[in-house]
Each structure stands twice: as C-alpha cells, then as structure tokens.
Amino acid sequence: MQQTRFPQIDSLRGIAALAVCWLHLTIPTSYAPLRLSGSHGNLGVQVFFVISGFVIPWSLDQSKYRLRDFPRFLLKRVMRLDPPYLATIALTVPLAYAAASTPGFAGEWPGFTFAQVAAHLAYLNALIGYPWVVIVFWTLAIEFQFYLSVGLIYPLIAHQRQAVRLGTVALLCAIAPLSASHSLLIHWLSLFGMGMLTFHYLSGRLSRNGYLASLALCTLAALGALEVGMAIAGLGTALLIAFSRWQTRPLLLLGRISYSLYLLHAPIGTKVVNLGLRAVHAPLLQIGVSLLGTAASLLAAWCMYSLIERPAQRLSSRIAYAPATVDR
C-alpha cells in the first residue's frame, strides 16, 4: 500500500509559513540584525510551490482521478481553501480601516474599492491591475492557476509511458523562463516541476537515478528563470520530501495551522508590530515586538484553523469523484 501521509511535508509547511511570517514581522523594524534574521523568509513561498507540485498529483493519483472529475476536483479545492481565504478578507478590510483611524498611524488610508475586493473571488487582482487586500494573496493566485492546469494535464503527468510523463515536466520547465511576470504560473513552473518529479519518484514511476538526473535538469531550468536562492530552496524541498521522514510534534502542529498562519500573519501580526513600534525603539524591545506579533499570528491562526479551516477540510473530503466504470 502506498504512503498516504508525509510528516516531512507538514513540517516543511510549518517552517515555510513561519519564515514568511517572520519576514513580514521584521521588515517594519529598524534594528538591522532583526531585519536580517527574516530577510530570506520569502523562500517559504518557493517551498510551498514545490509541495503543491507534489501533493496535488499525488492526491489525484490516490483518488484515481480522471479528466471527467475536473469540476469536482476544482470544487474540492475551492471548498478546502476558500473559506479561510474569504474569512481573512472579511477580517482584513474593516481591520485596515480601524488601524488607519488610530492615533499615530503613518501609513496610507486603505481606500479599498468594491471592484478590488470582488476581484479576489476569482484571484484576478494582479491580472486586472488591482492591489491585493493582503500582500501574500498573490501566491494563492499562482496556486489556483496551478490547480486549473494540473487538473487538465494530469493524464499526461501520470501517463503510462515514461517518455510522455517526463516530456510533460520537461516542457513545463523549459517554458518557465519565457515569462518574467511573478503573477503568472508559467514563471514558477520549474518549482512545480520539481514537485511533480518527486511525485513520479515516490509513486514508483521513476527510478532513483532517473529522479536525481531529472531533478538536476529541472534545477538548471529554475536557475534560468528564478533567483539562485529560490532554485536552491526548491531543490532542497524536493530532496527533503523524497528522502527524509523527519518530524517533531511542534512542527507537525505548526504545519497543521500553516495555511491559516500564512493568511493571517499580515492582517494580525503586522498590526501588532506596527502598533508596538510606535512606543518602543530599543533593539531588544523591537525583538520583543516582533515575537509578540508572531504569537498573536499563531493564536489567530489556531482560531481560524479550529473554527473555519478544519470544518472546510472535512466538507471538502466529502466531495467524491465519480466511481470508475467497468467495461464489459
């Protein structure tokens, strides 16, 4: 029986979400070592992209997905991810206006428009020129583009012929450098390709040596499209998924709430940090403010997970694909 749970992925999710959180909660500070500690937190995004490149094909393989299941697949993803996403928007908009009304506020007035907020429903903001309500939402749009794409090309990704499978991934990686737009999936395809190759290896469709050789070529493609650090982060993530089984209880718990943490750290944590920095300036106190913002983000994430995300997961799991028919 194939493995159905990968604890190292939950741990990687937790680390990636916390890294992005720490990045955004240290940027507002003036203490240089503190800012430096979070300066590479953006690489958590690339970790998430590789994980999705593995997890989505794996789950489709486990559920015996066929192209006719595409509408149900999208519905499952929407029911799984949109409730926390929409709840974050509903929380962020009034909170932004409340924060802007407090004494000492030095930022810009939010000025959200109906069209700007409504565009979030289809993840269209970057494509039609509207700012995101929350800074990290641009990555959710990339993920959604990936869901649309992988659901349609999955028959090629999991084709019986290895030449077709590897050729599909090779093509995806080859076209990645053709777009410099961070708002389009094509720019990030080499990272998703690393995840797909890892899916091929762990599902028994690709030998160890074939996997390592293909992953090396995919990394070269990533270096042609992305920054060196991003390509290395992607490669490291793929190798950890493929060859490690490490886990610790704290990281597993962090991984459980990682999506909610990713969504809420900006509207919650940065508000705490910005408010705290109005009153303190000493280096140690700035560190304390960033830690307080992190704690507030973790608490908010746990509440979101318990009240919204976990029920959404259960609802999504009840949506089944159509049963296979038997030819007679």
Q: 189-215, pLDDT tens digit by residue?
A: 999 999 999 999 999 999 999 999 999
CA distance 198 to 215: 8
SS3 326: coil
* Residue at 168: amino acid letter: T
Lowest mean pLDDT among 102-116, 129-143, 279-293: 102-116
- pLDDT score of 328: 38
The distance from CA 306 to its chain's CA centroid, rounded to whole angstroms, is 19
Q: Does residue 196 lie within any of the structural domains?
A: yes
CA distance 13 to 104: 36
Question: What pLDDT band is residue 5 in, cutting at 50, 70 and 90?
Answer: confident
Higher pLDDT: 322 or 293? It is 293
Phi, psi of 50 (to 5 degrees): -65, -40
* Residue at 195: amino acid letter: G
- pLDDT score of 134: 96
Q: Does residue 228 lie within any of the structural domains?
A: yes
Residue 205: name the closest of 258, 152, 166, 257 by CA: 166
Structure-block tokens of residue 157? 């990704």
Question: What pLDDT band is residue 1 in, cutting at 50, 70 and 90?
Answer: very low
- pLDDT score of 3: 57
Q: Does residue 155 lie within any of the structural domains?
A: yes
Residues 235-280: pLDDT tens digits?
A: 999 999 999 988 888 999 999 999 999 999 999 999 999 999 988 9
143 pLDDT above the threshold of 80: yes
Question: What pLDDT band is residue 114 in, cutting at 50, 70 and 90?
Answer: very high
- pLDDT score of 326: 45
- pLDDT score of 256: 96
Structure-block tokens of residue 235? 């490669």
pTM: 0.95
As a whole number, the mean pLDDT across the chain is 94
CA distance 7 to 202: 14
CA distance 97 to 91: 11
- The string over 225-258, giving b where at least 16 C-beta atoms fall within 10 Å of a residue's C-beta and e elsewhere, is bbeeebbbbbbbbbbbbbeeeeeeeebeebbbbb
Residue numbers of the domain that contains 146: 7-317
Q: Does residue 324 lie within any of the structural domains?
A: no
Q: Does residue 251 lie within any of the structural domains?
A: yes
Q: Does residue 326 lie within any of the structural domains?
A: no
Structure-block tokens of residue 94? 């009034």
Q: Does residue 233 lie within any of the structural domains?
A: yes
Mean pLDDT for the stretch of residues 124-151: 96
- pLDDT score of 289: 97
291 pLDDT above the threshold of 90: yes
CA distance 275 to 256: 28
Phi, psi of 314 (to 5 degrees): -65, -40
Mean pLDDT for the stretch of residues 110-139: 95
- pLDDT score of 105: 76
Q: Does residue 1 lie within any of the structural domains?
A: no
Domains contained in the chain, number: 1
Higher pLDDT: 323 or 53? It is 53
Residue 276: name the closest of 33, 89, 34, 15 by CA: 34
